[in-house]
Structure 1
């Protein structure tokens, strides 16, 4: 997206989402401003960090009890706004549903269960480009497993991707064959979770892509693939555009395929461009409705003023939950009313609690600012025409943007796989991990011969589990 069209797009979104934005900001300011969350105590002082050495260090999550006590205290002291004036979610999280969720969060929910699940996985940190990068690394027991680096987005985290580890690393136990095995690397984005927080500007998708390339090099992988949804998609696309050393191809589930003329029509509030097929016109109308209803208010605010948003999110657990749940990926989530639903109530609270305990509301929001207001679904903004490596796409029916295949083939010169599945949404890996895993197997199957054509990867084998330490704070 050009600077002019980006500005027009921002202004249009701001105009259409002003009411929702104001309501969210009022909610975020609900809790009185006090001391910085105790959780911040286990985030290291940047001045104490060592220089890049290439060292990979075992990591364990060890949240102080005081941080959990403080969280419950703040939840109990929540100052609530009045009820919304509509009977749907068009003004944001509904008061009664949010109060019920937050009450459960403060009385029954147990973070230690999430902590134990994370600590059952091999976790590590390594310093890249001056920043600590946290990642999960699980190797398959099968020979010739294809390494894949999978990147989350906002408001997700590594937690939304952990359900993929079993099906990808042990496919024979999940309906696949040994030839479909992957070694799995799941990093936390800079400013997210247990990764370090950038203290200067410049940590956008391109720089993150270079960091991920370095990470795979340190792990000893000469050939690998990359996958991403939400922010993970522009990161994976940047890796492909940079033709990262050893990268064989990418798979994305939020592809950057919106053509320039469609962007211009959306930004200008005009009619659909002429010449669109019936399916393309339907997608245009869906995008137009998305814009007009203010569904991207979160994108606009965090792109423009991430620090301002961060103050309320850092001080109010209820405000943080309300802000995360305003994301359209949660539009159909039932707040745990459906026992068969995935993610479950506890899983969503695991994710929200991770943001709270790592004090990463502002630092994660800055990724939107770093992106300069460029749409993550814009073919021009993400420079997809410069990508010559193989690209695979899966379209999930409840995703916020469902690309037509015609736009996908126009955007990516080397599209090797395109598939529309019957279920799943924005958090598809969380919702349907077996389906998502089967898509990765199919998408990358044709690239395995390139991986096998070289000498066997000389992989640095980290310990099978992180070693306990007196203090393993990130």
Structure 2
């Protein structure tokens, strides 16, 4: 890839769709052991329902057309193809906003956010730039090893420079939250603020990787006790998907690249476990379809491996920070290192995927946080 910004359209060959359907037609189903349920993974009846819908009820071409109504581009940065949505507002006072998805997610995460951000009936407006992170979606395949969050942050800061934005905001969740901090750390003179989303389960899971965190918590304190219980539950019951990707991404990559049912189960499990509001079935299957057609199940696994083995944490970002906590309870303030004076909003509902679970709440918080930070942006290509 060269460094030119080129228009892009999603055009999955019909042969790839036919191949997917053929694979779904010849699934070899495992048995469901009597007396077991979702504690052992996605139940058999749920998987059969989802596979049946993907095979016969889901309209990929309709989703392809829907996504293609959003301007998309690709460019090469640091040897890696970067795919991104770039939707400009007609408002002259609009703030450029970099939206960064998490895992296991894609640009589909932001479909419901774009119109209210770009063309609000009132309040702040935004120019939206939503990349597929390296290794994910149409930014797959990876151009090589080493794509940690730090390297990704530097690449996306360069993307915003190429687009001509002198001042911009950054938002992210999950991996995207980490990358958002990296972008601000390397480009603090241009980043007006960083807004991230989290939830109690994600915060507790992240805490399991912080050296000495368990020793800092008091088991006699009700809040700390709850955190310790969640950390233990994640280590013993919820971290298997991450352990294999953090250690053997190539091995699990064979299955994710060869079996659409494994790719579907891999993501459907997390959509079920990490939400408290139902996500539309077609949104789930559209997300899985992008992983399948681009082979980015394996790419995402390699990115998780890179991060698990990286020491590239960047410098602290001395910019305004905003935190939106979904499914909020008292544990998150204990775990999230919010700087003094940070914007902090708590929402009762929604969890790991608020852009899909509670888009109206997320849009409102983005407006509240970035509204006072707006600065005029320079012109950028439409």
Question: Could you state the TM-score of these two structures normalised by the residue count of structure 2?
Answer: 0.91
1:154 aligned onto 2:103:
yes
Once the two structures are superposed, the pairs formed by residues 48-197 of structure 1 within 5 Å of their partners are 49=1, 51-52=2-3, 55-172=4-121, 177-178=122-123, 180-197=124-141
Which protein shows a greater Rg? Answer: 1
Q: CA deviation at 1:278?
A: 3.3
Alpha-carbon distance change, 403 to 182 in structure 1, aligned in 2, over 3 angstroms: farther
What is the root-mean-square deviation in Å for CA atoms of aligned residues? 2.7
- Structure 1 residue runs of 5 or longer lacking an equivalent are 1-48, 335-340, 375-380, 463-474
Q: CA deviation at 1:131?
A: 1.5
Find 1:331's aligned residue among 270, 273, 291. 273
Q: Is the 8 A contact 1:391 1:414 kept in 2?
A: no
Find 1:442's aligned residue among 358, 364, 368. 368
Alpha-carbon distance change, 421 to 189 in structure 1, aligned in 2, over 3 angstroms: same
Alpha-carbon distance change, 364 to 358 in structure 1, aligned in 2, over 3 angstroms: same
Q: Provide the C-alpha distance between the structure 1 equivalents of 2:24 and 2:301, rounded to a whole number of angstroms.
A: 22
Q: Provide the C-alpha distance between the structure 2 equivalents of 1:220 and 1:187, rounded to a whole number of angstroms.
A: 16
Once the two structures are superposed, the pairs formed by residues 357-376 of structure 1 within 5 Å of their partners are 357-372=293-308
Find 1:322's aligned residue among 247, 252, 265. 265
Q: Is the 8 A contact 1:153 1:229 kept in 2?
A: yes
Q: Is the 8 A contact 2:81 2:143 kept in 1?
A: no
Alpha-carbon distance change, 457 to 260 in structure 1, aligned in 2, over 3 angstroms: closer
1:248 aligned onto 2:178:
no
3-state SS of paired residue (1:371)? helix
Alpha-carbon distance change, 213 to 243 in structure 1, aligned in 2, over 3 angstroms: closer
Q: CA deviation at 1:385?
A: 8.3
Alpha-carbon distance change, 372 to 86 in structure 1, aligned in 2, over 3 angstroms: same
Match of 1:22 in 2: none
Match of 2:355 in 1: 429
3-state SS of paired residue (1:404)? helix
Match of 1:390 in 2: 320
3-state SS of paired residue (1:185)? strand
Q: Provide the C-alpha distance between the structure 2 equivalents of 1:287 and 1:223, rounded to a whole number of angstroms.
A: 38
Match of 2:292 in 1: 356
Q: Provide the C-alpha distance between the structure 2 equivalents of 1:65 and 1:345, rounded to a whole number of angstroms.
A: 23
Q: Is the 8 A contact 1:135 1:187 kept in 2?
A: yes
Question: Could you state the TM-score of these two structures normalised by the residue count of structure 1?
Answer: 0.74
3-state SS of paired residue (1:425)? coil
Alpha-carbon distance change, 77 to 257 in structure 1, aligned in 2, over 3 angstroms: closer
Q: Is the 8 A contact 2:186 2:314 kept in 1?
A: no
1:405 aligned onto 2:333:
yes
Deviations 1:124-152 (Å, cap 9, x if unpaired)? 11111121111001111222111110111
Q: CA deviation at 1:331?
A: 1.7
Q: Is the 8 A contact 1:424 1:431 kept in 2?
A: yes
Match of 1:16 in 2: none
- Structure 2 residue runs of 5 or longer lacking an equivalent are none
Q: Provide the C-alpha distance between the structure 1 equivalents of 2:364 and 2:314, rounded to a whole number of angstroms.
A: 25
Alpha-carbon distance change, 105 to 404 in structure 1, aligned in 2, over 3 angstroms: closer
Match of 1:302 in 2: 245
Alpha-carbon distance change, 281 to 442 in structure 1, aligned in 2, over 3 angstroms: farther
Q: Provide the C-alpha distance between the structure 2 equivalents of 1:189 and 1:261, rounded to a whole number of angstroms.
A: 24
1:290 aligned onto 2:290:
no
Q: Is the 8 A contact 1:205 1:234 kept in 2?
A: yes
Deviations 1:21-53 (Å, cap 9, x if unpaired)? xxxxxxxxxxxxxxxxxxxxxxxxxxxx4x33x
3-state SS of paired residue (2:42)? coil
Q: Provide the C-alpha distance between the structure 2 equivalents of 1:262 and 1:81, rounded to a whole number of angstroms.
A: 33
